[in-house]
């Protein structure tokens, strides 16, 4: 046996937490990987599969799907450098060159002494504190070559230093980031002292219908990117039936430019738990999940700790605050797949499968997790729920613009002086946001306002833009997740396009042809163009492919790259043409 008896027992225990043992596959593979020195080879996968009673082929299929699972031995320290667009704008390429030079290896290689494996990864969710290096399961943010050298010195001595990132933030709403500067906010006592869990108490006195009605009345739009009204989503649940209802919090924040949910989970975990619990009560769910991206392992620990505190205080469990209501939360780690941020892929992943999106319909509200009615909401959406319940829909609607109500966390990265997260009402002007972030470094050239998957805006198009769902749509882009990527005049748009495409080609789940083949083809074309070996026909081919891929894929991932790439080429075509000789 490869897995130690304690580990087997632990896997067994985790399996017992889920309605279906299979769901424990990802947690089990994480545990096995950690205990086996960073990789699980065939025999280990076989053991995990046998503990969970899964076919070997299924377990292996899952392991080979997720980026974070290593099947080959790696160095003692796995250095994973985020090189995607915000990191690139913050100088990750120079840091990569530096690391390659001092370690004497290329990305993808391991030092001869077996100490370091250097990898490049696509987005770690730290866009405001780039460049960021993930060492095993810890983040080291705001790195410079000098800081990186210092880090390596520590690591060589066998120490993982405890460095805290320096992140800028601000809030004019004091709802979602209200406790951001409070170092004790993770503690339940402090959270309660600052007004926490009052909304839950109020919710316990309301009927589920009243809760749904309140959220509907607040017109809370989903903060994950699509802006779909959360109350309406809840209303899609079947009114009858005895199948359990599952409430899932989507914390798989992984699109370059997006790093907002992290602020809530890391610094105010109880706010999310309270929102999730109220949502659970509203939809009649007894079990909720927080599906958090695998790289955020330490944030998952924070959430688990907070949940345990809540359990102790009877804020979770089978008799919440002695009022006879039941709700439990499981924190579930993903394993490095962007597509799992799509709700049906997330559900598949939570079921212990490959995170491939499902065909809709059926929508999760009728057949989601384990085939049961399921609601999936984003972290920020759920974090808005307590304030709606506590202060009422009307108060919530006072913030923002018509049809776009409430607070929103904007994550600003790229060429600004103080990249960070800023909470303001929806409809706040982009100019004001940029000013708060210290202003653009240099001259604004282009801006992506909703995470990498929305169409880019030129400086002219972005002038005077109001940051809400409808205004962005009118401006030919989308608010998306509110991840603002700022690019100044030194930025090469073809390089940004290439980097963006590297992300999407890496993250395609491989299920449908236009996305899996299309993304790689567009990537190859862009590579050739950026390398100066392209032709005018290649530019046309990129545009042609983007047009074809748009709307043709099984899930939104096809649109997520075809739309922004097409916009970059169309809006900055001279730059692409300059690359063609």
Partner 1 sequence: MPTLTIDEREVSVPAGASVLEAAEALGITVPHFCYHKALGAVGACRLCAVEIQAGPQHGLRMACLVEARDGMVVSTTAPAATGMRRAVIEYLMLNHPHDCPVCDEGGECQLQDMTVAGGHGVRRYRGKKRTFPNQELGPFVEQEMNRCIQCYRCVRTYRDYAGGHDFGVLGVRQRVAYGRFRPGRLESPYSGNLVDVCPTGVFTDKTVRFRARVWDMQCAPSVCPHCSLGCATWPWARYRELLRVSGREGPRTNGFFLCDRGRFGSGHANHPDRPRTPRLDGRELGWPEALEALRERLTKLTWAHGPGAVGLLTSGRASLESARALGLLGQALGGAPVVCEPHPRRDRAVRALVAELGQLGRDQEDVRQSDCLLLAGLDPEGEAPMLALAARQAVRRGARAAVWDPRPDRLPFPARRIARLPEALLEALARPDGRAPDGLEAAERESYAETRAALQAAERPVLLGGADLLGPRGVRLLLAAARALSRPGRACGLSLALPGPDSFGGALLCPDGPDADELLAGIEAGRVRALVCLEADPLSEHPDPARVAAALGRLELLVVLDHLPTASAARAHAVLPTTAAAEMDGAFVNHAGRLQGFARVYSAGLPIRVTGQGAHPPREFRPDTPGELPQPGWAVLAALAGEPVELGELRAELARSEPRLAGLAGLVAGGPGVQLALEPSARERPDTPAEPGVAEGELALLSVEALFGSEPLSARAAPVAGVASEDALALCPADAARLGLGEGEPARLRSALGEAVLPVRLAPGLAPGFALVQRRFGGPLEGFAPGGGPIACRIEKGGAR
Rounded-to-integer distance, Cα 25 and Cα 43, Å: 15
Distance of CA 93 to the CA centre of its chain: 23
Contact between residue 261 and residue 251 where contact means Cβ atoms under 8 Å apart: yes
Q: Which residues contact 567 (CB under 8 A, 6 or more apart)?
A: 455, 456, 476, 477
554 binds partner 1 per the rule CB under 8 A: yes
- Residue 141: strand, helix, or coil: coil
Rounded-to-integer distance, Cα 361 and Cα 68, Å: 30
Binding mask 60-99 for partner 1 (x = CB under 8 A): xx--xxxx--------------------------------
Minimum CB distance to partner 1, residue 506 (Å): 7
Minimum CB distance to partner 1, residue 125 (Å): 20
Minimum CB distance to partner 1, residue 370 (Å): 15
Q: Total binding residues for partner 1 by CB under 8 A?
A: 39
Rounded-to-integer distance, Cα 251 and Cα 273, Å: 12
337 binds partner 1 per the rule CB under 8 A: yes
> 267 or 503: whose CB is closer to partner 1?
503
Rounded-to-integer distance, Cα 51 and Cα 28, Å: 10
Binding mask 466-505 for partner 1 (x = CB under 8 A): ---------------------------------------x
Of 51, 56, 42, 45, the C-alpha closest to 11 is 51
Q: Which residues contact 265 (CB under 8 A, 6 or more apart)?
A: 251, 272, 290, 292, 296, 299, 302, 303, 379
> 54 or 479: whose CB is closer to partner 1?
54
> 1 or 57: whose CB is closer to partner 1?
57
Minimum CB distance to partner 1, residue 558 (Å): 9
* Lookup result for tokens 């729920």: 385
Site for partner 1 in 25-44 (CB under 8 A): 42
> 182 or 552: whose CB is closer to partner 1?
552
Q: How far lies 425's CA from each of 195, 254, 299, 462, in Å? A: 21, 23, 26, 18
> 68 or 310: whose CB is closer to partner 1?
68
Q: Which residues contact 233 (CB under 8 A, 6 or more apart)?
A: 222, 365, 375, 377
Minimum CB distance to partner 1, residue 30 (Å): 17
- Strand order of the β-sheet with 328-333 is 328-333, 287-292, 246-251, 374-378
Tokens of 345: 């892929």
> 448 or 526: whose CB is closer to partner 1?
526
508 binds partner 1 per the rule CB under 8 A: yes
Among 405, 407, 506, 567, binds partner 1 (CB under 8 A): 506
Residue 404, strand partner residues: 401
362 binds partner 1 per the rule CB under 8 A: no
Minimum CB distance to partner 1, residue 520 (Å): 5
Minimum CB distance to partner 1, residue 538 (Å): 9
Rounded-to-integer distance, Cα 25 and Cα 49, Å: 8
Site for partner 1 in 514-553 (CB under 8 A): 514, 516-521, 524, 541, 548, 551-553
Rounded-to-integer distance, Cα 351 and Cα 178, Å: 34
Rounded-to-integer distance, Cα 254 and Cα 379, Å: 13
359 binds partner 1 per the rule CB under 8 A: yes
Judged by CB under 8 A, which stretch of 55-63, 76-84, 169-177, 245-253 contacts partner 1? 55-63
Among 435, 513, 531, 578, binds partner 1 (CB under 8 A): 513
Instruction: State the residues that interact with partner 1 by CB under 8 A.
Output: 42, 45-46, 55-58, 60-61, 64-67, 337, 354, 359, 505-514, 516-521, 524, 541, 548, 551-554
């Amino acid at each position: 046996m490869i897995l130690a008896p304690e580990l087997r027992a632990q896997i067994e225990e985790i399996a017992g937490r889920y309605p279906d043992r299979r769901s424990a596959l990802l947690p089990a593979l994480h545990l096995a990987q950690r205990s086996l020195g960073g990789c699980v080879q065939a025999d280990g996968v076989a053991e995990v599969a046998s503990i969970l009673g899964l076919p070997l082929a299924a377990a292996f299929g899952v392991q080979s799907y997720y980026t974070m699972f290593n099947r080959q031995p790696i160095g003692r320290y796995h250095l994973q450098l985020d090189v995607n667009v915000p990191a690139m704008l913050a100088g990750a390429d120079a840091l990569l060159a530096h690391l390659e030079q001092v370690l004497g290896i290329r990305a993808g290689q391991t030092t001869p002494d077996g100490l370091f494996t250097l990898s490049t990864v696509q987005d770690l969710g730290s866009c405001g504190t780039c460049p960021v290096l993930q060492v095993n399961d810890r983040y080291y943010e705001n790195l410079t070559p000098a800081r990186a050298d210092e880090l390596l010195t520590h690591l060589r001595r066998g120490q993982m230093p405890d460095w805290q990132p320096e992140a800028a933030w601000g809030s004019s709403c004091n709802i979602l980031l209200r406790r951001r500067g409070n170092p004790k906010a993770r503690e339940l006592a402090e959270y309660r002292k600052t007004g926490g869990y009052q909304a839950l108490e109020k919710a316990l006195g309301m009927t589920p219908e009243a809760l749904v009605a309140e959220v509907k009345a607040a017109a809370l739009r989903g903060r994950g990117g699509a802006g779909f009204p959360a109350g309406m989503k809840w209303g899609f649940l079947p009114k009858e039936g005895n199948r359990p209802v599952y409430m899932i919090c989507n914390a798989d924040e992984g699109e370059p430019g997006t790093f907002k949910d992290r602020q809530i989970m890391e610094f105010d975990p109880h706010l999310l738990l309270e929102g999730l619990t109220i949502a659970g009560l509203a939809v009649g769910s007894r079990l909720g999940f927080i599906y958090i991206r695998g790289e955020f392992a330490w944030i998952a620990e924070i959430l688990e700790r907070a949940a345990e505190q809540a359990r102790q205080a009877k804020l979770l469990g089978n008799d919440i605050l002695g009022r006879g209501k039941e709700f439990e939360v499981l924190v579930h780690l993903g394993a490095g797949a962007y597509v799992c941020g799509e709700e049906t892929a997330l559900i598949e992943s939570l079921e212990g499968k490959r995170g491939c999106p499902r065909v809709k319909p059926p929508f999760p509200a009728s057949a989601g997790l384990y085939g049961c009615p399921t609601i999936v909401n984003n972290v920020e959406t759920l974090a808005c729920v307590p304030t709606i319940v506590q202060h009422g829909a009307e108060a919530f609607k006072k913030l923002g613009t018509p049809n776009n109500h409430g607070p929103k966390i904007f994550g600003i990265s790229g060429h600004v002086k103080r990249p960070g997260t800023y909470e303001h009402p929806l409809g706040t002007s982009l100019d004001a946001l940029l000013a708060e972030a210290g202003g653009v470094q240099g001259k604004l050239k282009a801006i992506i306002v909703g995470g990498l998957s929305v169409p880019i805006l030129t400086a002219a198009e972005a002038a005077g833009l109001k940051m809400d769902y409808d205004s962005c749509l009118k401006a030919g882009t989308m608010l998306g997740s509110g991840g603002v990527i700022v690019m100044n005049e030194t930025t090469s748009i073809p390089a940004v396009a290439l980097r963006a495409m590297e992300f999407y080609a890496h993250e395609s789940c491989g299920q449908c042809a236009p996305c899996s083949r299309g993304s790689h083809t567009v990537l190859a074309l862009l590579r050739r163009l950026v390398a100066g070996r392209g032709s005018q026909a290649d530019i046309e081919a990129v545009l042609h492919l983007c047009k074809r891929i748009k709307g043709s894929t099984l899930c939104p991932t096809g649109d997520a790259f075809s739309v922004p790439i097409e916009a970059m080429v169309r809006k900055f075509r001279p730059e692409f043409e300059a690359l063609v000789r």
